[in-house]
């Protein structure tokens, strides 16, 4: 029994090492991947209630496409690009969650500017290029 236990532990260690070697230089998981997989899961669950075979097929197709996309992203070696995708996602998602602020892009340099919500029309000065623009907050 003890022999089997240590054999199992060794096997686990070997698999751990080969998995780590396989993932070496690859991007791995991030918040965007979790969201993609979550959306795929929701689609699969929704598909349980869809009786129309064509729509059901499409739902499954999209769900599988999302899963492949998430797997592709985690195995990708282009870590910089994947990181940027995740950053973009977090930016958009953060904006949606933030109820106290509004976000604007500077018309000149595209810098994102955050202002408090509900202050009426305000003059905003871009922190990067000092461009002034008026927006309703």
Binding region for Zn ion (CB under 5 A): 106, 108-109, 111, 126, 128-129, 131
Quote the least distance from Cβ 129 to Zn ion, whole Å. 3
Q: Which helix (H) or strand (E) holds 132?
A: strand 132-136
Residue 121: beta bridge partners? 136
Nearer to Zn ion, 82 or 102 (CB): 102
Nearer to Zn ion, 32 or 126 (CB): 126
Report in angstroms the alpha-carbon separations of 4 from 8, 12, 16, 18, 118: 6, 12, 18, 21, 67
Nearer to Zn ion, 48 or 134 (CB): 134
The residues, ordered by sequence, that sit 6+ positions from 126 with a Cβ below 8 Å of its Cβ are 106, 108, 109, 111, 113, 132, 133
Quote the least distance from Cβ 111 to Zn ion, whole Å. 4
Nearer to Zn ion, 70 or 113 (CB): 113
Quote the least distance from Cβ 134 to Zn ion, whole Å. 14
């Amino acid at each position: 029994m003890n022999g089997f236990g240590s054999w199992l532990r060794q096997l686990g260690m070997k698999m751990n090492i080969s998995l780590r070697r396989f993932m070496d230089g690859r991007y791995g998981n991030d918040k965007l991947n979790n969201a993609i997989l979550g959306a795929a899961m929701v689609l699969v669950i929704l598909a349980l209630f869809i009786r129309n075979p064509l729509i059901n097929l499409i739902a499954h197709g999209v769900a599988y496409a999302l899963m492949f996309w998430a797997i592709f992203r985690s195995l990708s070696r282009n870590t910089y690009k994947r990181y940027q995708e995740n950053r973009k996602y977090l930016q958009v998602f953060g904006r949606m969650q933030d109820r106290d602020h509004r976000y604007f892009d500077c018309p000149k340099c595209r810098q994102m500017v955050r202002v408090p919500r509900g202050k009426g029309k305000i003059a905003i000065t871009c922190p990067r290029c000092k461009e002034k623009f008026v927006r309703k907050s």
